[in-house]
Amino acid sequence: MLKTLTLKRYLLIEEAELHFTKGLNVLTGETGSGKSVLVGSLSVLSGSRVDKDMLRYPDQKAIVEALWDVKDDRVVNWLKERDLYEGDEVIIRRELLPSGRTRAFINDTPVSVSDLRELGGMLVQIQTQHGLLQLKNPAFALELVDSLLEDTALLNKYRSLWQEIQSLIKKQSSLLEEIQDIARTRDWLEEQKRELEQIPLDEFADRDIDEEIALLENVDTAIYHLGQALNFLSDDEISAEALIYKAISELKALQNILKDVDRLIEALESAILQIKDTSEEVRSKIEQLQEQVENIETLRNVVEQINHLKFKFNVSSVKDLIKKREEINRKLEIIENIDSEIQFIEEQLKRLRQDLITVGKQLSAARQKVASDIEKMLNDMLQELNLSYARIKIEHRETLEPTPSGLDIFTILFSADQGTTFKPVYEVASGGELARLMLAIQAIVSKKRSLPTLVLDEVDTGISGETARRVAKFMRYLGQRVQIIAITHLPAVAASAHHHIAIAKDFDETGKPTAFFKELFSEDEQVKEIARIMAGKGVTQTVLESARELIKEMQSTP
């Protein structure tokens, strides 16, 4: 509920602070006095566009601020999610700067204009003669029906299924694009795979092939020197082994002469064993090198192929080539597996679409029942609003295909001749009839859920007499469930107010036009204002008495 609206240097207003109450708040004043300032300021606080013409003084900022009492769970949760909640009241402020820019605040915290739009949509609904065109929106009737569903489980389930289907369709589309992209390069990938698998890359991942080749290119030299070493050790007649044997033979001739010669013999025999072992190791090394001589060309070919692959795939090591090979294998696996994945998604989509149709039909049945109830309630209320011959019909059609909102299209039809001819309401109903229809709709919806503050900007234009009285009483009745702020020229509506604000235009000391608000708290003040509405400047005692009687009559409604 809007509690206070503060305006500073905004349009015709120098400075004003307006207070609002529960129920029907009425704003009256002469034509051109600035009543639209109220609607404009609430639009500004709801994130609408602004321009420099809204500044009272081109070189000074204008301020529009409102204090709201918030108890609606939607609003409270929205504020808490953004860490803006400070209790049951929220202050919204927008500053209009001479530069053309604006600054927005919620509870003194800077916010974006989009935040104002979101919050404003939950706090206030502004209805004007032009705003009644929302009845032309095909979605309006469906939204009305859904807002009055007793159980929203089917609606939520349908929306959930729809979202799941859209998610799968998106995934399916992505897979199809992916397989098309990959399939175009299938042959190329296969060729790369063959190239990378021609060489046992894993075998060479941790080997220094260049070092191996460097060794093999010097293998002849190595074999020669190893052979010489083997000759010196044991193969020649004058080898180390042969010479030691001769030394042992000479020492054995002294065994009967020298007592410690056996120790020397044992040492030489041990040396012979070491020489034999070393000779065998050298001989084995020679054999290994001789075998590897045959592999040098193979290794050179491998190095050449590896270098070619490194250059081709722009990598620097064998391990990088192995990673590339694995990546190619994964892509080829995707091609092999993606068809089955797409098939699986198609099966899921088929099942979910069947579920969607089933839930959609159940939801449609529930909606049609609600639409029938709304139709009856609206027709009853139109009688109360002095549209005795008018009839409403809510037409239902099935959609050709499921839509995000269901399988239903609802259209509000209107007949002004007791139901003889029905046409879409926005084509045949007058502005006054549309206004009364919207009031009736608001009354129905307000019974079901909490509504934001409803601002009615001269939607009662074009009606008078008994019709005006009925509309006024209806607005006062609706005010019991939703705060209404009505800008009106009708005496009956003004007389029905729970709270009355009058606006007048004058000129300040500089000759600049200025609007002044006055809250009418006493009965005499309200009587004078309603008399002015009734008779203009020609207010007589008779007119004052008529105004007093009108107030008494209209406020006999609770």
416 belongs to a structural domain: no
Residues 47 and 125 in one domain: yes
- Identity of residue 93: R
325 belongs to a structural domain: no
- Ordered per-residue pLDDT tens for the chain, 558 residues: 999 999 999 998 999 999 999 999 999 987 766 777 888 899 999 999 888 889 999 999 999 999 999 988 889 999 999 999 998 999 999 999 999 899 999 999 999 999 999 999 889 988 876 556 677 777 889 999 998 998 889 999 999 999 999 999 999 888 888 777 776 777 777 777 777 777 777 766 666 666 666 666 677 788 888 888 888 888 777 788 888 888 888 888 888 888 788 888 888 888 888 888 888 888 888 887 777 666 667 777 777 777 787 788 887 777 888 888 888 888 777 777 777 888 899 999 999 999 999 999 999 999 999 999 999 999 999 888 888 888 999 999 999 999 999 999 999 999 987 767 899 888 888 877 888 888 888 888 887 777 788 888 877 777 888 888 989 999 998 888 899 999 998 999 999 999 999 998 888 778 788 888 899 989 999 999 999 999 888 888 999 999 999 999 998 865
Pairing relationship of beta strands 102-106 and 499-507 according to DSSP bridges: unpaired
Count of domains observed in the chain: 2
Pairing relationship of beta strands 484-487 and 453-457 according to DSSP bridges: parallel
Of 366, 364, 346, the closest CA to residue 356 belongs to: 364
507 belongs to a structural domain: yes
pLDDT digits (tens, 9 = 90+) for 139-169: 889 999 998 998 889 999 999 999 999 999 9
Cβ–Cβ contacts within 10 Å for residue 235, how many? 15
Domain that holds residue 262: 186-314
Q: Where are the beta strands (DSSP E) in 11-139?
A: 13-19, 24-29, 62-69, 89-96, 102-106, 109-111, 124-128
Residues 108 and 191 in one domain: no
Rounded to an integer, what distance in angstroms lies between the CA atom of residue 236 and that of residue 503? 132
119 belongs to a structural domain: yes
Residues 11 and 121 in one domain: yes
Residues 120 and 199 in one domain: no
Which pair of structure tokens corresponds to residue 67?
């204090």
Q: Residue 52: give its domain's CATH number.
A: 3.40.50.300
Residues 18 and 118 in one domain: yes
* Percentages of the chain per state (helix, strand, coil), in multiples of 5: 60, 20, 25
- Identity of residue 417: D
Q: Which of 292, 314, 336 is the last residue of a domain?
A: 314
pTM of the predicted model as reported, rounded to 2 decimal places: 0.68
Rounded to an integer, what distance in angstroms lies between the CA atom of residue 546 and that of residue 544? 5
Q: How far apart are the first and last CA of the chain?
A: 19
336 belongs to a structural domain: no
Q: Which of 294, 314, 334 is the last residue of a domain?
A: 314
Rounded to an integer, what distance in angstroms lies between the CA atom of residue 235 and that of residue 280? 11
377 belongs to a structural domain: no
pLDDT digits (tens, 9 = 90+) for 216-261: 667 778 888 888 888 888 877 778 888 888 888 888 888 888 878 8
Q: Which of 293, 314, 335 is the last residue of a domain?
A: 314
The strand order across the sheet containing 109-111 reads 13-19, 2-10, 62-69, 89-96, 102-106, 109-111
Residue 497 to residues 16, 459, 504, 540, 556, Cα–Cα distance (Å): 21, 16, 18, 23, 11
Of 474, 469, 521, 458, the closest CA to residue 495 belongs to: 469
Rounded to an integer, what distance in angstroms lies between the CA atom of residue 33 and that of residue 42? 18
Residues 99 and 190 in one domain: no
Rounded to an integer, what distance in angstroms lies between the CA atom of residue 1 and that of residue 23? 10
pLDDT digits (tens, 9 = 90+) for 346-363: 999 999 999 999 999 999
521 belongs to a structural domain: yes
Residues 92 and 212 in one domain: no
Of 193, 180, 279, the closest CA to residue 229 belongs to: 279
Which pair of structure tokens corresponds to residue 453?
């503050």
Residues 124 and 224 in one domain: no
Residues 118 and 202 in one domain: no
153 belongs to a structural domain: no
Residues 101 and 211 in one domain: no
